[in-house]
Amino acid sequence: MSTSSFLDSSTSTSIDLRSGLVAAARQPIRRCRRSGGLKSAFICDICGLRRDSQKRVADLGDATGSIFAPHGAGGFHAKRSHHPHHHLHRCHSRGTDRPTRSTSAQFLIPAAGALDGGNGTFFRSDITLINYRSTIQNVRLQWLPQTVTGVGVPESDITINALSGIASEDFVTNILHRSGLGAILVTGITAAGDIDPGAQLVATSRIWTFQPGSSGTTSQSLPVVSTADISSTISVVLGARRDSRFRVNVGIVNLSNSQQRFQVASAGSNATDVQQVDVEAMSMVLFRVNGADSSVPLQVQVTNISATTRSTSWIAYASSVDNITGDAWTTLGSNVPQ
């Protein structure tokens, strides 16, 4: 029996960062200790990195066990100039160094919802939203509906206490009071309602449902994208699979205030299939990418071909769904190098 997927055509919980692992990660930074007989070698008590005057930093493993980022709470300790190798804690992208995940004043959750699936499933979004700031943060949640324009859709404003957060396993229903499929634009705002550049927000998102006839669940995580990183020209999504086992759906979120037209080309081992789709202003679409089975992962190329007012404020992603179990994974597109 084929099982559907959310990405196929309870009351919130309060979180206090002043206790537990995250609070510990925000404490003043300990200095590195010297290692063995190496006169100029250091091992960081926070991140486990080793430095000496002869070698680049070697990754000795994550010593913090943080639930948010490889080096504790994002880049907090990366900013401390008294740390012996503070400039290396930004994790340069060479070798085995791992990038930290920074906070953001505005970001996009590319797919969320509360809707029926096939075979008795009902899909919900489990979302956690954290305010790392030491002051209360006003947050605006903007629903970007599927297929129809989101211009004029009322926003929902909430307040998150300092060093705190909220979490809901059915965020769209309980926090946004909406249903169906869409995307969510999350913005830290000032008291006047303007974007607050000092906001320090982080979120996680997953889509889940109970398995039919079971108390067990199935889910998939979705990446959260800072709008500072959104400037799309030609976007390519890699790793999607379409064969007898899997089907592929492509999602596009348009953050501009005008309709945009896109060309979607999916290249596999046998052919390249091309289709066009219009995405209304401040909205999203999700559609099946049909075509011949491919023995290799697809390369899905999405290009904005709008005749006028061509925007770069959009993202694309692909979701591959198991035809039997409904297990799925989602991959974001990345810009083709120019």
In which domain, by residue range, is 171 found? 103-226
Number of domains making up the chain = 2
Could you tell me the CATH number of the domain that includes residue 290? 2.60.290.11
Q: Show which of 226, 249, 277 is a domain's final residue.
A: 226
User: Angle at the Cα of 189 (from 187 to 193), degrees rounded to 5?
Assistant: 120
Task: At 142, give phi and psi (nearest 5°).
Answer: -115, 120
Q: Residues 283, 148: contact at Cβ < 8 Å?
A: yes
231 CB neighbour count, 10 Å cutoff: 12
Tokens of residue 226, six digits: 């800072």
317 CB neighbour count, 10 Å cutoff: 25
* Residues 146 and 189 occupy one common structural domain: yes
* Residues 189 and 297 occupy one common structural domain: no
Please list the pLDDT of the chain residue by residue as tens digits (338 residues).
555 665 664 456 777 776 554 444 444 433 344 444 433 343 343 334 444 433 333 332 332 222 333 333 333 333 333 333 333 333 333 333 333 368 999 999 999 999 988 778 899 999 999 999 999 999 999 999 999 999 999 999 999 999 999 999 999 999 999 999 999 999 999 999 999 999 999 999 999 999 888 899 888 888 999 999 999 989 999 999 999 999 999 999 999 999 999 999 999 999 999 999 999 999 999 999 999 999 999 999 999 999 989 999 999 999 999 998 888 999 999 988 86
* Residues 321 and 214 occupy one common structural domain: no
Task: At 87, give phi and psi (nearest 5°).
Answer: -70, -15
Cα separation, 54 vs 14, in Å, equals: 48
* Residues 147 and 202 occupy one common structural domain: yes
Task: At 198, give phi and psi (nearest 5°).
Answer: -90, 0
* Residues 143 and 215 occupy one common structural domain: yes
* Residues 107 and 220 occupy one common structural domain: yes
